[in-house]
Homo-oligomer: A and B are copies of this chain.
Amino acid sequence: MATLRDLAAAVGVSVTTVSNVLNGRPNVGSDIRKRVLRAAKKLGYRPNLAAQAMRTGRTRAIGLVLPDLTNPFFPELAQAVENTARSAGLLVCLIDSQGKTEGEADGFSLLMQHAVDGVIWCPLGPTAPATLKNFSKPVVLIDRPRQGYDVVQSDYAMGGRLLAEYAVRMGHTSVGLLSGPERIESARQRRDGFIGARPRELKVAWEVGVGFDGMLTREAVAALTRRRSATLIICGNDLIAISAIRCLSEHGIRVPEDVSITGFDNIRWTELVTPRLTTIAQPIAAIGAKAVELMRERMSGEPLVSRRTIFDVALVERDSVRRLPPR
């Protein structure tokens, strides 16, 4: 691989001058500038990132720390993050903690050792790994806000409102809640958004919390199959909703004929399952792209106040909710 020194020798100038040209610094005559650029192209010069990193402390790589690629929300996100990062010349280093806090901690320490320039992070729970304390690079949060950090997420209160309105519009008066985990901020926001926006006449017959991974607890199965008064089940995300449909169908309960269901996220699978899932769409790709954008601003030393970017969500009506006849 050609080095700065090679270029310098080829053109007949000093290494410093070559470096100055390549970094667009002033005080280089235009002919020399041209000759250096030509030589660089001809010799196929690519800066040695390791050397650069060592000198400057910047690596042009960012970390992406996710809880679980098995939940289809995250691959979609990762894809968006990787693609927009790459078009900005940034490499994305992936950590999948598989839902384990120590995985998250390991991941962060690996990323720190590699001196990534920043981390885009969807936190597992409320407690941050200890190693994060002495991580001086920018961190942008996805989906789950936390004091003192930039975050980009969707307007979950709006999602809750949309769901509540829709429920009454479709004639439902009693719902069951299959919420996401209590300890996850965004799960609470979804739940509270709905609870708060719901008019008095819309009752919550029961509520049980499950993981975002869609694994149904015994309690959840019981709630689903006991056939209490709820005619509509509001799920914390699409994965939960789809698992619930599956569970119901195994117990001979039909959706939406016997009970209606909604999801949240609008992952691709909502269109592929039967019945197609009515859900709240969040702009996953836009969220990923925005996170990279915020990251880049931070990396170039932008504003020091923490910012939150909130995207609108929308109701996507499909086949999993039945309109109830007026009584």
On A, residues with C-beta under 8 Å from B are 46-51, 53-54, 59-61, 64, 68-70, 72, 74-76, 78-79, 82-83, 86, 89, 91-96, 98, 103, 106-107, 110-115, 214, 242-243, 245-246, 249, 268-269, 271-274, 276
Contacts and interface: CB of A to CB of B under 8 A. Distances in A.
B89 A110 contact: yes
A86 B75 contact: no
A252 to B, nearest CB: 12
Contacts of A75: 69-70, 72, 74-75
5 tightest A-B CB contacts, nearest first: A50-B53, A69-B75, A50-B54, A94-B94, A75-B75
Contacts of A106: 86
Contacts of A91: 93, 110-111, 114
A272 to B, nearest CB: 5
Nearest to A87: B106
Nearest to A267: B70
Given A53-B53, A243-B272, A246-B272, 6 more contacts: A46-B112, A61-B93, A69-B78, A70-B79, A82-B96, A242-B272
Contacts of A72: 72, 75
Contacts of A82: 94-96
A187 B266 CA distance: 29
A82 B214 CA distance: 22
A50 B249 contact: no
A272 B273 contact: yes
Contacts of A68: 79
B61 A69 contact: no
A76 B86 contact: no
B50 A268 contact: no
Contacts of A69: 69, 75-76, 78-79
A138 to B, nearest CB: 18
B95 A93 contact: no
Contacts of A245: 274
Nearest to A68: B79
Nearest to A242: B272
Contacts of A269: 269, 272
A114 B90 CA distance: 10
A96 B78 contact: yes
A316 to B, nearest CB: 16
A92 B89 contact: no
B243 A115 contact: no
A48 B106 CA distance: 17
Contacts of A64: 94
A70 B77 CA distance: 10
